[in-house]
Amino acid sequence: GENVEQHPSTLSVQEGDSAVIKCTYSDSASNYFPWYKQELGKRPQLIIDIRSNVGEKKDQRIAVTLNKTAKHFSLHITETQPEDSAVYFCAASEETGANNLFFGTGTRLTVIP
Amino acid sequence: GAVVSQHPSRVICKSGTSVKIECRSLDFQATTMFWYRQFPKQSLMLMATSNEGSKATYEQGVEKDKFLINHASLTLSTLTVTSAHPEDSSFYICSVDALSEGTRTQYFGPGTRLTVL
């Protein structure tokens, strides 16, 4: 089955700096890669996703890149703000039928004001 | 995206009792729902895939007789933790596989925090 690894497990940045979280996956059949943000005690919220037919996607301060050859994808947050502090999870799935997501281990991002 | 609710949000029960958690898709007819468990400071672990009108598909290591899943309608799936024990204490989250703006993704419920005394 799919194995998703995520690094780093914790990340602290100064407000305004950029944050980068990296994930690797093992199953070459995976073709859908969402990122979720989870605040303490709350549900994961989808913040951005990418499919294997593109290499990069951007939504305001958030961008995701995908390298299918190397089987890794990354989340980039620019101009970080304190409200970006949360746990971020990457995930991967083979988008056939229902989306069975395999999650990374999570990254706790702390943005220091 | 799909709006997903869960009930209850928090439950405390005695060891040996059973607890039922409901997951509702409020604005989307969900053929497929997923149940996850999340221990403190850990990732989401898929427990089972709930399929409307048929048996759930359980992940390896998840006891189907202990975690009963029923998906009787396109808007409701239930997870019953039978004979709960302290080690079952966890955050249980459901999700709905939904089509939004032409693409499929998962939308999560708010979660249920189960504490077994």
Q: For residue A99, what pLDDT is reported?
A: 63
Contacts of A104 in chain B (CB under 8 A): 43
- Give Cα separations from A70 to A43, A65, A74, A104 (angstroms): 30, 12, 12, 17
Q: What is the pLDDT of residue A111?
A: 97
pLDDT band for A96, please (50, 70, 90 cuts). Answer: low
Query: What are the tokens at B112?
Result: 């249920």
Within 8 A of A45 by CB-CB distance, chain B residues are: 108
Give the C-alpha distances (Å, rounded to integers) separating B50 from A27, A33, A37, A64, B54. Answer: 23, 22, 24, 30, 8
Residue B87: count of CB within 10 angstroms of its CB: 9
A103 touches chain B (CB under 8 A): yes
Mean pLDDT value of segment B104-115: 91
Q: Cα distance from A53 to chain B (closest Cα, Å)?
A: 13
pLDDT in tens, B27-48: 888 888 999 999 988 899 999 9
DSSP, res A83: G
| pLDDT score of B54 | 86
Three-state SS for B33? strand
Cross-chain CB nearest to A44 (options B32, B44, B113): B44
Residue of A107, A110, A74, A102 whose CA lies nearest to A89: A107
Q: Is B49 close to A100, i.e. CB distance below 8 A? A: yes
**A-chain residues near B93 (CB < 8 A):** 43-44
pLDDT in tens, B78-105: 999 999 999 999 999 999 987 766 667 8
Chain B neighbors of A36, CB-CB under 8 A? 108
Residue A44: predicted pLDDT: 92
Tens-place pLDDT, residues A21-64? 999 999 998 998 999 999 988 999 999 999 888 899 999 999 99
More confident residue, A95 or A102: A102
Residues belonging to chain A: 113
Hey, are the CB atoms on B106 and A46 less than 8 Å from each other? yes
pLDDT the model gives residue A2: 85
Residue of B nearest to A95 (CA): B104
Confidence of residue A97 (pLDDT cuts 50, 70, 90): low
Beta bridge partners of B23: B6, B77
Of A41, A43, A97, Cβ closest to residue B109: A43
